[in-house]
Chains A and B, each alone.
Chain A
Amino acid sequence: MEGTAVRGRLSWQVATVGQVIDETAAVRTIELQAPDWAGHRAGQHLDVRLTAEDGYTAERSYSIASAPGEPVAITVERLEDGEVSPYLTEELRAGDDLELRGPIGGYFVWDGQHDIGPLLLVAGGSGVVPLRSILRHRERTGSAVPTRLLYSSRSLPDVIYRAELDRDNGGGVEVIYTLTRAQPPGWTGRAGRVNAAMLAEVAWPAGQEPLAFVCGPTPFVEAVAEGLVGLGYPPPRVKTERFGATGTGAAGGS
């Protein structure tokens, strides 16, 4: 099992909100100016802490949306019954302070230098966020590893980072969308949920020794991971991150 050195204590630090970008009606990217940020790896997450005037605090984890070397950014989906995500997506604005600590996690990461075969990224909904960090890292480092992103969304307006994903991405990246609920007229992408048949068509053959990163809601990740294992992917080559139904932004380990 691969490992990384255990870092020292992760201290809370104050970051200032820079640009905020509305990605979809319910999803916003928040760029943060964090002078004490020690850097991160593609796929890691961070913790955010909010403090109310009466001292009440709430913490959540969010996947990091930016590439290593870029200013740290998170992309947050508003959950209607959430406590933190409505604040981050509706109330927070440029110039506000936010407490964060991280980076956290060292398994669901892609550093680019240990590639055997091609890269398969499979996203469900806002599960695309850590995979976007990987794509940007791949482009910034000039990696030539052949890469496919299979990205499942409810409808076209729900696709996060669409303009960015539709451009060149440094070459060698195929983006395959599937829309599960509604497809616009003339839609030439895929329709319906990711299932074994779709994976058999889209995923790199197991013989090419691909490395897969799968991120999304639990049933999505369960289905995709099982599908990939069924296609012959060894389980250690299928890294997963699952979002609970409770507004958890990144995986821990339960």
Chain B
Amino acid sequence: MTYLKGRAHQKANLGCLTTDARMPFLAHGSHRIRYEISGPETGPAYVLVNGLTQYSELWAAYRDTLVKRKFGIVTFDLLGQGESDKPTLFIGQDDHVAVLRLLIDKLGDRPVFLAGISFGGIIALRYAIEHGDRLAGLVPMSTFSELPPQLALLGNAMRTGLILGGTGYLQDMLLPMNLSDAWLAPLMDKLDSVKRQGWLVNDVYALQNLMESFLDFKPLTPRLHEIRVPTMILNGEFDFLTPRTLHETLRAHIPDSALVIIPRAYHAFTLEKAALTADLLARFASEVLEKRWSGGGAVRIAPEEAGGEITPFPAEFDHLRAIPARKASS
């Protein structure tokens, strides 16, 4: 089923992993998936799943941080993204899960931690539901298990925006929604070059196919209880695209989970706060491997900077509110 192809293949034995990044391709049916494995040959590995308009290079900072902390790192372009093949008309959610399965199978019996952002978070959730026995831990980030009206309407508006205005317009919508003023301000006169690489590697029809692969989205909430692996749910404090309530659904239904709120962060905190997020990923995996992890449905607050203390959300307050409202007594 799988074959390897690509520039790196000519000089690399891809059966084993080395400290150098590899850029081979994996086959899913007739389609090629570009992936990259970095880091130690053995031991735990993180598999990182892209959001809709991402491409695997955007995880570069994670690669550097996590490899230093002895994790293998697997990144890839989803079917329809970046350097992976772009099916002309039809992509299904099942295809994404199948690709993830092929990729994780390549890691043999290493402990695998799976993290996905937004669109990629859904794929990670589905994988954990269907193949959770292969995972050591799960990190859904800025994601959701069902489509409430606000998100469904926003999704439709984005699709329409893509159709009428192209990738550039979609980027114009997403940048201010997903990133903070602090991140955007110094880049205001360079936004075109910030957007250019994403515009170059993403084709309108392929993005549209990716979006449409979620039109028949079946809510995952009824199956979340099947996820038995330790799960750290990450949600930006100011994420209004996928707000707290959507992550609360994950926390409430995934048995061994904890919700960690990233201060002052928006939907795309993996991009904006890469050092902090990579640190949280490494700490979570270490706690799981050393059997120190306890989800217990906790709600926690991440530190402002990497290495800081993770604190419990004050028990008397309601973490679903934006103002310090006390919890309703049950």
* A-B complex is real: no
